[in-house]
Structures are given as C-alpha cells and as structure tokens.
Amino acid sequence: MPSLTTWMLRARPPSSHSATKAAVHAFTEGLRVQLADTSVRVMELAPPRVRTTLFGQESDEQAMPVEASD
C-alpha cells in the first residue's frame, strides 16, 4: 500500500510542493525577525535537490546524486 505522502505527490502537481516549501521559508524568516531580540535562534534546514524520478530530476546535473548504501 503506498504511503499517504506518495499518494499526495501523485495526486497534486509539484507546484503544491514548491508552494509549501516557500511558505515554510517565509514563516521561518518571519520568526527570525520577531525573535531577533530574544535568546531564541531560528534555523531553517533546506535539503538539496536529489536526482530522482519523483519529479523527473534523474538527469538534473545540479541535483545531488543518490548513492546506494552498502
């Protein structure tokens, strides 16, 4: 049985994925500004693109290659 995430990615165009990433980035930047005068630090982790067939990036030279683990 495919996971919910797999189903959602197949059911929705990749633009929804990009829009979600942009929203998280904007929210993080807003938090960083709001909390600048406190001891709380806000960090955003953004994984790189990966060469995968998920969005047709298997030949993308700028994407990180996927290496099989031993």
27-55 pLDDT per residue, tens: 999 999 999 999 999 999 887 777 777 76
pTM exceeds 0.75, yes or no: no
Beta pairing partners, 64: 50
- Residue 21 and residue 56: Cα distance in Å, rounded? 18
- Alpha helices by DSSP H, listed for 1-70, are 4-11, 14-34
Give residue 19's pLDDT.
86
What is the mean pLDDT of the segment spanning 55-62? Answer: 75
Round the average pLDDT of the chain to a whole number and report it.
Answer: 77
More confident residue, 50 or 26: 26
Per the listing, tokens 């693109």 go with: 49
Give residue 70's pLDDT.
54
Query: Using CA atoms in the order 9, 13, 16, 19, what is the torsion angle rounded to 10 degrees?
Result: 130
